Amino acid sequence: DGPRPRPANYYVWNRDFYFDTLLKDPAFKKLIKEEWQKLNVYDQLLNYFDETAKLLDRSQKFNFQRWDILNSRVSVGGIPLGSYEKEVACDKQFFINHYNWLNGEISRY
């Protein structure tokens, strides 16, 4: 609940899984870092947000004419933002925050 996007202090189910052991292995962490750097998908993913928002533009207009909920709180997710564009921008900012957090974590490997 509350304003969005939330900071990058995401809840993760805190249990001991196999990846805890894997992340203790310097060779495994080195491989993760190398693969992450090879991917370099940040700009592609941001473009995907924009392209998908444009693709859905006409449909979202019909949707929110039929169900006028952009100013109503529905389910979880914080405060209503009032427009499709603001919702997309919020989701995009959430992704940016999470990507930057993840990138920072992996860069320390």
pLDDT at 6 over 60: no
**How many whole angstroms separate alpha carbon 4 and alpha carbon 28?**
35
Phi-psi region of 78 (alpha: psi -120 to 50; beta: other; left: phi over 0): left
Q: How many CA atoms lie within 13 A of 78 on its CB side?
A: 12
Torsion 99-103-104-109 (CA) sign? positive
pLDDT at 2 over 80: no
CA 85 to chain centre: 16
Query: What pLDDT does residue 10 have?
Result: 55
Per residue in 27-84, pLDDT tens?
Answer: 999 999 999 999 989 999 999 999 999 999 999 999 999 999 999 988 766 788 999 9
pTM above 0.95, yes or no: no
* Phi/psi at 61 (5° precision): -65, -45
